């Protein structure tokens, strides 16, 4: 087999070429990530509750950005319809729980399978017709609008009124009175997916994805099964995203199409991944955490209400995004990666 990563390494614009992440660098990364996770896990035991709540949101955003990063960052498939998979995950587990009493711990797996199925179907149609780039983005965006329209008119799932779950302290059904378990679950999700992404990067599949992102025709010509890889990565990304949907539903205990299928989720995923560094393991985490810290820092400024804080944070973030896309396409982590490489 020819080495598909050679193309990737030749393009410094995309962050962290695999050649850099040698075994040693990988082990350093894994160790530092493990230490960070352990430190993070201690946070809810001493931090005040509003910090823990903010932390849960940040972690969920990290996780979702990581999911989006699998398809967009590694394989270059710019989905703008990932809210579909959040919605499917959240709705599947919630409906199974409220109507049939199935625990969301099991429901989230079914939601993941269903989302992967929808993702596979969509990807098969779209990639069969060789839709790519901007058109792929638009098709996924419209798919999200179609699915949201269907849910808003589907009485069985509560149409526009949605579904409310009654809070009880019920760990067997992923419901807790305390914020701490939610925080730990979200942290575990981020950690597991980071490890999963790290492992995927080292498989032949991961290298195929990077190759087809860099130059699809060249990858195809060197024997990469690009069609299968693209369908598989959308399915994988959808599967993971659906877990985020279930977690979001259990955290809010209230789902409506407007919040579950919101385009805002897609923007948040994209911002986190792109600013941190798409196509890297830690990029989406770095980007989302910075966004979370920025939002929290703005909270301490003398603004009148949360609307102004949120808007202000988003303006700053969007400007940062634009500057990064123009000046630093590899995201924040590419600064670090470059320095490390030149130091070696």
Partner 1 sequence: MISSETLFQALTSGLLMGSAYALIAIGFTVVFGVMRIVNFGHGHLVMAAMFASYALHRYVGLDPYVSAVLVFPAFIGLGALLHRVVIVPIMDASHAAHMLTTLGLLLVIENAMNLIFGGDLRSVNTSLSGQSLILGGVALPWTRLVAAAVSLIAIGGIWVGLKYTRFGTEIRAAADNRIGAMLVGVPIQRVFLRAFALATATAAVAGTILVPFYLVNPFVGHDFMLKAFVIAIIGGLGSLPGALAAGLLVGLIEAAGSVFLTASLGNALVFGLLMIMLLVRPSGLFGRVQS
Instruction: Tell me whether residue 110 or residue 310 sits nearer to partner 1 (CB atom).
Output: 310
Q: Does 35 bind partner 1 (CB under 8 A)?
A: no
> Is 142 in a helix, a strand, or coil?
helix
Out of 19, 32, 153, 169, the only residue in the binding site for partner 1 (CB under 8 A) is 153
Shortest distance, CB of residue 227 to partner 1, whole angstroms?
A: 16
Q: Distance between CA 86 and CA 83 in Å, rounded?
A: 5
Out of 10, 32, 99, 129, the only residue in the binding site for partner 1 (CB under 8 A) is 129
DSSP H helical ranges for the chain = 5-10, 23-42, 49-69, 83-100, 104-128, 134-152, 180-201, 204-214, 216-221, 226-252, 257-260, 263-276, 283-299, 306-327, 332-343
Tokens of 116: 């992967």
Over the window 242 to 271, marking each residue x when it contacts partner 1 by CB under 8 A and - when it does not, the resulting string is ---------------------x---x--x-
Over the window 155 to 194, marking each residue x when it contacts partner 1 by CB under 8 A and - when it does not, the resulting string is -----x----------------------------------
Instruction: Tell me whether residue 11 or residue 177 sits nearer to partner 1 (CB atom).
Output: 11
Out of 34, 106, 199, 322, the only residue in the binding site for partner 1 (CB under 8 A) is 322
Q: Does 150 bind partner 1 (CB under 8 A)?
A: yes
Q: Does 138 bind partner 1 (CB under 8 A)?
A: yes
Degrees, nearest 5: CA angle 298-335-69 = 75
Q: Does 39 bind partner 1 (CB under 8 A)?
A: no
Pairing of strands 163-164, 254-255: antiparallel
Which among 141, 93, 143 is positioned nearest to 114, based on CA atoms?
Answer: 93
Over the window 267 to 296, marking each residue x when it contacts partner 1 by CB under 8 A and - when it does not, the resulting string is x--x---x----------------------
Exposure class string for 143-162: b at 16+ Cβ within 10 A, else e: bbeebbeebbeeeebbeeeb
Task: Say how many C-beta atoms besides its own lie within 10 A of residue 317's C-beta.
Answer: 20
Q: Does 307 bind partner 1 (CB under 8 A)?
A: yes
Q: Does 12 bind partner 1 (CB under 8 A)?
A: no
Which among 219, 202, 249, 267 is positioned nearest to 68, based on CA atoms?
Answer: 267
Which parts of this chain interact with partner 1 (CB under 8 A)? 76, 78, 125, 129, 131, 133-135, 137-139, 141-143, 145-146, 148-150, 152-153, 160, 263, 267, 270, 274, 307-308, 310-312, 314-315, 317-319, 321-322, 325-326, 329
């Amino acid at each position: 087999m020819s080495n598909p990563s050679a193309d990737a390494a030749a393009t410094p614009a995309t962050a962290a070429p695999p050649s850099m992440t040698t075994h040693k660098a990988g082990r350093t990364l894994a160790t530092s990530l493990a230490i960070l996770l352990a430190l993070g896990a201690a946070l809810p035991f001493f931090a005040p509750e509003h910090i823990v709540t903010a932390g849960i949101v940040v972690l969920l955003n990290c996780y979702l950005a990581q999911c989006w990063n699998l398809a967009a960052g590694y394989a270059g498939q710019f989905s703008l319809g990932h809210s579909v998979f959040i919605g499917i995950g959240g709705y599947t587990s919630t409906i199974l729980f409220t109507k049939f009493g199935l625990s969301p711990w099991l429901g989230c797996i079914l939601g993941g399978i269903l989302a992967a199925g929808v993702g596979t179907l969509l990807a098969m149609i779209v990639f069969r017709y060789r839709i790519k780039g901007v058109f792929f983005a638009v098709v996924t965006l419209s798919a999200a609008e179609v699915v949201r329209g269907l849910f808003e008119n589907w009485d069985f799932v509560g149409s526009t009124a949605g579904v409310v779950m009654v809070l009880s302290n019920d760990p067997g059904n992923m419901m807790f009175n305390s914020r701490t378990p939610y925080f730990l679950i979200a942290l575990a999700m981020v950690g597991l997916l980071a490890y999963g992404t790290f492992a995927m990067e080292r498989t032949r599949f991961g290298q195929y994805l990077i190759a087809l992102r860099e130059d699809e025709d060249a990858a195809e010509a060197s024997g990469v099964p690009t069609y299968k890889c693209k369908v598989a990565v959308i399915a994988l990304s959808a599967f993971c995203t659906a877990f985020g949907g279930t977690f979001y539903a259990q955290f809010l205990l209230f789902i409506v199409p407007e919040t579950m299928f919101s385009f805002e989720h897609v923007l948040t995923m994209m911002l986190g991944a792109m600013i941190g560094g798409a196509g890297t393991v830690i990029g989406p985490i770095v980007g989302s955490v910075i966004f979370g810290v920025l939002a929290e820092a703005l909270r301490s400024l003398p603004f009148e209400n949360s609307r102004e804080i949120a808007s202000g944070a988003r303006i700053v973030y969007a400007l940062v995004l634009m500057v990064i896309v123009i000046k630093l396409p590899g995201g924040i982590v590419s600064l670090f990666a470059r320095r490390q490489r030149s130091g070696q």
